[in-house]
Amino acid sequence: MDQINVLIADDHPLLRQGLTRLLELESDINVVGQAGSGDETLTMVETMEPDVVLLDINMPGMNGIETARILRERHPDVCVLALTIHDDESYVSEMIRAGASGYLLKDAEPSKVIQAIRRVSLGESVYPSPLMERVMEHYHQMEVEYGKIQNAATIDELQLTGRELEVLQCIAEGMSNKEIARTLFISEKTVKNHVTNVLRKLEVEDRTQAAVYAVSKGIVSFDK
């Protein structure tokens, strides 16, 4: 089983240590380091090359949102999973724009954190449905950032196939690749190919942005 190298970035040493002990119980997860600030996170990513950065938003100096944005620019292969106390849709929206692959609250069950790390390491997105629902409802606040999608194309103009629409609907419902494969009776490899095509046609960077785009423009529905 491939190891998932994780860097924990949080300004509370006790929380970092607790997460480290939790994650190191998993045979497929390896904690490569702990950072207490955004600047320290960027430095440690350079040398430790983690697959996933578990990132708090509130940190001294550079906050988690700006850190995530820089990580996306410098290290696009590194997945960012936000772990924070903030349940406000504005923070979720900012982390989506910054390129985070997932967003969890600190009161999440330990099993959920472990599952989320595994999912984002596979290129999937993890955002709790209640938070995403509020993001969808406040999407107009994001349209300035995504100016290109204000003139949303029709399904025909986007040239989405029927299967790609089905995959996009599953993405909007928060399904993993494995769940999509099981639902549509296709292989996970085929799912990955469809996801790649969907992102390219929608001109977005990740699954979460694809879901926000598609739901806000009525291409697919959001299952509350």
Task: Kindly report the pTM of this predicted structure.
Answer: 0.74
- Which DSSP string corresponds to the chain? ---EEEEEE-S-HHHHHHHHHHHTTSTTEEEEEEESSHHHHHHHHHHH--SEEEE-S--SSS-HHHHHHHHHHH-TTSEEEEEES---HHHHHHHHHHT-SEEEETTS-HHHHHHHHHHHHTT--B--HHHHHHHHHTGGGTTTTTGGGTTPPPHHHHT--HHHHHHHHHHHTT--HHHHHHHHT--HHHHHHHHHHHHHHHT-SSHHHHHHHHHHTTSS----
Kindly report which listed range (81-95, 119-133, 141-155) carries the lowest average pLDDT score.
141-155
Does the pLDDT value for residue 148 go beyond 50? Answer: no
**What band does 130 get if pLDDT is binned at 50, 70 and 90?**
confident
In this predicted structure, the answer to whether residue 156 has a pLDDT above a threshold of 60 is yes
Taking only the tens place, the pLDDT of each residue in 38-72 is: 999 999 999 999 999 999 999 988 999 999 999 99
> What's the pLDDT tens digit per position in 163-188?
999 999 888 887 888 889 999 999 98
Give the mean pLDDT of the chain: 85
Show the CA angle centred on residue 106, arms to residues 100 and 108, nearest 5°: 95
Query: In this predicted model, which residue has the larger pLDDT, 28 or 137?
Result: 28
Q: How confident is the model at residue 152 (pLDDT cuts 50, 70, 90)?
A: low
Task: State residue 26's pLDDT score.
Answer: 95
10: left (phi over 0), alpha (psi -120 to 50) or beta: beta
